[in-house]
């Protein structure tokens, strides 16, 4: 009986791990998307502001720590990815 209980505990722990990984992936994509929106907003703002005395925008957005360009995801692609992740989680939970 102890062996069966430990197997169930291991299965439950694995299920939690898979769910947390899926949440992490989803949050990571959301962060990338929001950074993309932020960068686009700053770009528009920089273009619309007049230049200050040193040839820089008078009220620039703060510089980003990394110079990475984030690609904005198509909302339909994001829906499909979510569906795929949910299906994968269900398959892993069922097995």
* Model pLDDT for residues 37-70, shown as the tens digit of each residue: 888 888 777 666 655 555 555 554 555 555 444 4
What's the rounded Cα separation, in Å, for the pair 86 and 88? 5
Per-residue pLDDT tens over the stretch 6-44: 889 999 999 999 999 999 999 999 999 998 888 888 877
Handedness of CA 37, 43, 48, 54 (dihedral sign): positive
According to DSSP, the residues that pair with 57 across neighbouring strands are 51
pLDDT at res. 24: 96
């Amino acid at each position: 009986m102890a062996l069966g209980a430990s197997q169930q505990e291991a299965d439950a722990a694995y299920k939690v791990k898979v769910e947390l990984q899926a949440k992490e992936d989803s949050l990571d994509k959301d962060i990338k998307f929001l950074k993309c929106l932020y960068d686009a907003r700053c770009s528009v703002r920089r273009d619309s502001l007049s230049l200050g005395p040193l040839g820089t925008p008078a009220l620039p957005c703060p510089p980003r720590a990394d110079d990475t360009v984030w690609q904005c995801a198509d909302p339909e692609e994001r829906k499909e990815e979510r569906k795929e992740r949910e299906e994968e989680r269900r398959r892993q939970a069922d097995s």
